[in-house]
């Protein structure tokens, strides 16, 4: 067995992470998955010797790894890093917990939302609470635990001055069935600040409420890129069949921002319908970028699920 294939002792991994004279090897990333108590103690000993930029890069790389490999779980590291002295590290650590559904995080995120001195960290906590709003709506976590989350977000969104934290609170409330949420979304849509409009569209998609279909359609060709991206995302989440023609028109125009392009692929895969499979397959054949191919492969895989659901619905009607 070569040295590269042998498992490096975790203490050596931390020594290499702290060594700014050398690039940190990505092959060590998995050492931060499912960390035991001994590894967490070593992490704590070395953590203060690591630069803030290196910590943030590590957390960003681990987030990418978790997205690519569902067996990787870095919750232990993330919960530790939430208490770092640097706000950028704390915010990225919260983001790394995007997949963790343990209810004990509710109190942690609520405390951070109320007490952390950094706006970006409080905004990250407001965003992270959204999944618990959803879990409460799905009755996977008791409403006794999640109702206070909704109440806190409703309180936060009314605070002035309204900024990033309030926008993230609105996005999280998109999952909520609370009667006041639609009016909050409407108020956000009336703002001149396009960031509020983008957040409102994001919340519309999460609501799965087709009352918003017309509004979403109106914004798919908006001149602000962030608004346009969120409108496309919402069109997919709401499965707006009427959006397909508009999305196809955008593809035919070409020269699209890469994130917008990927959101169009994904939205089409969620909506489905006549000609969508052929379109995505043609895009895959013509793609030369590896990332674009990966996104299209995932979109085509998701389209299969969409088509199966359509077939099931048709069978159910018959």
What's the whole-number mean pLDDT along residues 157-185?
Answer: 96
CA–CA dist 91, 88 (Å, integer) = 5
pLDDT at residue 200 greater than cutoff 60 = yes
Residue 161's pLDDT is 85
Residue 312's pLDDT is 54
Residue 284's pLDDT is 97
For 248-302, the DSSP string reads HHHHHH----HHHHHHHHHHHHHH--TTHHHHHHHHHHH---HHHHHHHHHHHHH
- Per the prediction, the chain carries an average pLDDT of 95
Q: Are 143 and 188 in contact (CB under 8 A)?
A: no
CA–CA dist 75, 126 (Å, integer) = 18
CA angle 102, 106, 110 (to 5 degrees): 160
CA dihedral 54, 59, 65, 69 (to 10 degrees): 150
- All structural domains of the chain, each given as residue ranges with its CATH number in brackets, are 191-309 (1.25.10.10)
Q: What is the largest CA-CA distance in the chain?
A: 67
Among the listed residues 231, 235, 213, the one whose alpha carbon sits nearest the alpha carbon of residue 222 = 231
Q: How confident is the model at residue 317 (pLDDT cuts 50, 70, 90)?
A: very low
31 alpha carbon, distance to own chain's centre: 24
CA torsion through residues 4, 68, 39, 59, sign: positive
Question: What tokens were used for 90?
Answer: 């704390």
pLDDT at residue 314 greater than cutoff 80 = no
pLDDT at residue 5 greater than cutoff 60 = no
Q: How confident is the model at residue 307 (pLDDT cuts 50, 70, 90)?
A: very high
Buried b (16+ CB within 10 A) or exposed e, 206-228: bbebeebbebbbebbebeeebbb
What percent of the chain has pLDDT above 70? 95
pLDDT digits (tens, 9 = 90+) for 96-143: 999 999 999 999 999 999 999 999 999 999 999 999 999 999 999 999
Q: How confident is the model at residue 213 (pLDDT cuts 50, 70, 90)?
A: very high
pTM over 0.85: yes
Q: How confident is the model at residue 7 (pLDDT cuts 50, 70, 90)?
A: confident
What percent of the chain has pLDDT above 90? 93
Task: Write the CA distances from 12 to 23, 41, 218, integer angstroms.
Answer: 14, 14, 55
What's the whole-number mean pLDDT along residues 1-17?
Answer: 76
pLDDT at residue 6 greater than cutoff 80 = no
């Amino acid at each position: 067995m070569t040295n590269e294939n042998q498992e490096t002792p975790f203490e050596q991994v931390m020594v290499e992470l702290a060594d700014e004279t050398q690039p940190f090897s990505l092959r060590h990333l998995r050492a931060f998955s499912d960390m035991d108590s001994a590894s967490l103690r070593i992490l704590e000993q070395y953590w203060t010797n690591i630069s803030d930029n290196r910590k943030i890069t590590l957390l960003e790389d681990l987030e990418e790894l978790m997205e690519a490999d569902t067996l990787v779980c870095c919750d232990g590291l993330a919960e530790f890093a939430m208490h770092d002295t640097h706000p950028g590290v704390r915010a990225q650590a919260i983001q790394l917990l995007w997949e963790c559904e343990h209810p004990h995080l509710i109190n942690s995120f609520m405390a951070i939302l109320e007490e952390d001195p950094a706006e970006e960290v409080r905004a990250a906590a407001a965003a992270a609470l959204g999944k618990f709003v959803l879990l409460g709506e799905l009755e996977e976590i008791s409403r006794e635990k999640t109702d206070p989350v909704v109440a806190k977000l409703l309180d936060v969104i009314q605070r002035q001055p309204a900024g990033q934290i309030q926008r993230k609170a609105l996005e999280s409330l998109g999952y909520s069935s609370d009667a006041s949420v639609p009016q909050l979304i409407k108020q956000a849509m009336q703002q001149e600040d396009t960031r509020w409009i983008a957040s409102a569209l994001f919340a519309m998609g999460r609501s799965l409420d087709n009352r918003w279909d017309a509004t979403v359609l109106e914004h798919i060709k908006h001149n602000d890129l962030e608004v346009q991206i969120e409108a496309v995302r919402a069109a997919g989440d709401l499965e707006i069949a009427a959006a397909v023609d508009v999305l196809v028109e955008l593809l035919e125009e070409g020269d699209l921002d890469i994130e917008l392009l990927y959101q169009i692929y994904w939205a089409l895969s969620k909506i489905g319908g006549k000609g969508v499979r052929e379109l995505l397959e043609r895009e895959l054949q013509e793609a030369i970028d590896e990332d674009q191919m990966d996104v299209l492969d995932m979109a085509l895989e998701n389209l299969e699920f969409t088509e199966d659901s359509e077939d099931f619905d048709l069978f159910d009607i018959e």
